[in-house]
Amino acid sequence: MSATVLYVVQQNGDAIPEAEFRNSWGGAAFIWAALATRYKDQIVALGEPDDFYDLRGGKELKFDREWPLVWHYEQADNCAMTQWEHNACRATYDKALIAPESFPMLADSFERFQDAHRKPSRVCSLGDQASIIRRLTNARGVGWNWTTVGDSFWDIWSEEREEGRPYNIDRDEGHEFVELVEL
């Protein structure tokens, strides 16, 4: 089964796995599906009709279409998301890191998101992630591999040496510290 992996950036810059949450559908996919459902009409209004054929038919948005459309809407001038919905969504951006000064706000946002959008039949790990983020001390940031189905950005593989090493924010490129919205 897939999992979501929470990575913590150590003082030396290495991103190290801190916790794994079974069933990755309870992480980013939960966030995207909840936002796509709640803001369906607004998301449809932003795009080309062909981009939203599943939404227009009253069906749920296809998973491979959902996240880029939700991200696009999250950045729109007329976005109606709450602050905590913005923050949960921003944590799902590719190669996103959250700075330690934003840990309490992120944890609050994850808990509020889970409380507002959780359904009994749907897995959600946001509350568990929030608990771990609240306990972190001496970390330079957190990031995610939202699904273990694919490779993790936070693990660097060397074909020449046939071994891996942790991503290091001081020497590797591609990550971005994402700003959260004040609650």
What is the rounded average pLDDT of the residues 1-16? Answer: 96
For residue 40, pLDDT beyond 70: yes
98 neighbors 15 (Cβ within 8 angstroms) = no
Q: pLDDT tens for residues 143-167?
A: 999 999 988 999 998 788 778 899 9
Task: Decide the pairing of beta strands 163-166 and 176-177.
Answer: unpaired
The confidence score (pLDDT) of residue 22 equals 94
The confidence score (pLDDT) of residue 116 equals 97
> Distance between CA 145 and CA 40 in Å, rounded?
26
pTM for the model stands at 0.89
The confidence score (pLDDT) of residue 50 equals 52
Q: pLDDT tens for residues 78-112?
A: 889 999 999 999 999 999 999 999 999 999 999 99
Mean pLDDT of all residues belonging to the chain: 88
Q: Which residues contact 152 (CB under 8 A, 6 or more apart)?
A: 5, 7, 145
Q: Which residues contact 142 (CB under 8 A, 6 or more apart)?
A: 6, 7, 8, 9, 18, 97, 98, 103, 106, 133, 136
* Domain definitions of the chain by residue range: 3-177
In the chain, % of residues over pLDDT 70? 89
